[in-house]
A and B are shown apart, each in its own frame.
Chain A
């Protein structure tokens, strides 16, 4: 059960997924707050964020993981990811350009499944990593 986008045979170690680049807006954060139920004011209330010593509101870590997840499913197909893990390295800020980088690092067959391991990263325009992690997909 999964979207057929990429076949195991067509993937080579070193391949990179198409990059998603997105300029983070406050509207993104409000929409994510409403969809996820995370109403921590640090993510939508500029006055509260500045009062707490932050320069502005900042992004939900899980918004970043969701965005990178979209880059991942755009590449391997929805429903094919078997593992997705990230470390939240830095906060994200409105107006930053967030770009995905997904690199195939291994191919292996296990229990009859054709698995592709990837490193996944989300970084800003200055090359600062926001998310660093790993993913695995089972491909047809």
Chain B
């Protein structure tokens, strides 16, 4: 079964560097406010434009983990970039793994902030698979898939936040 193992490794490595897609997100006040409530913040800065201004922001800022959720409320079909890649590199790897069973876990999440995300921002996200590797743990194969999405301001191209995630498939 050496050949099978080799080809599985090839499939895994083949997606490194592949794009996970581009998206355009509009950051709106209502969803940011609900998200802040959902992460149990009591700060008036997420609710009140006056409080946000007083704290030095040009508009209401979003909580730190907002970038993970903002595509849900802020992507609109007619605005999406035309050069979306075809196929999903995650599915290329996870499809065959999940066909053999197992569980997908969110292993790690990291955000690097250049500036706070603000209500009114229009952001472009560009994602890539940054690494794929396997480890054996307690007789199970753990497949790590790491991705990185860079969010930039649409109007200036300036970086805003980079999100790094690693998903684990546990056999």
Chain A residues engaging chain B, CB cutoff 8 angstroms: 1-4, 20, 22, 28, 31-32, 34-38, 61-63, 65-67, 69-70, 72-74, 77-79, 81-88
Contacts and interface: CB of A to CB of B under 8 A. Distances in A.
A83 B113 contact: yes
A22 B40 contact: yes
A121 to B, nearest CB: 14
Contact of B107 (A35, A37, A62, A88): A88
B38 A85 contact: no
B58 interface: yes
Interface string B15-58: 00000000000000001001101111101011000000001111
Contacts of A38: 69, 72
B56 A79 contact: yes
Contacts of B58: 1
A35 B69 contact: yes
Nearest to B103: A52
A62 B45 CA distance: 21
Contacts of B68: 36, 62, 65
Interface residues of B, number: 36
Contacts of A37: 69, 71-73
Task: Identify the interface centre among B57, B108, B115: most chain A CB within 10 Å of its CB.
Answer: B108
B13 interface: no
A136 to B, nearest CB: 9
B7 to A, nearest CB: 31
Given A31-B38, A63-B39, 19 more contacts: A3-B55, A4-B55, A28-B38, A28-B40, A32-B38, A35-B69, A37-B71, A37-B73, A65-B65, A65-B68, A66-B35, A66-B38, A66-B64, A69-B39, A72-B64, A78-B46, A85-B109, A86-B109, A88-B106
B43 A74 contact: yes
A84 B39 CA distance: 15
Given A1-B56, A3-B45, A32 B39 contact: yes
A20 B112 CA distance: 23
A62 B109 CA distance: 9
A136 B49 CA distance: 26
B11 interface: no
B98 interface: no
B35 A36 contact: yes
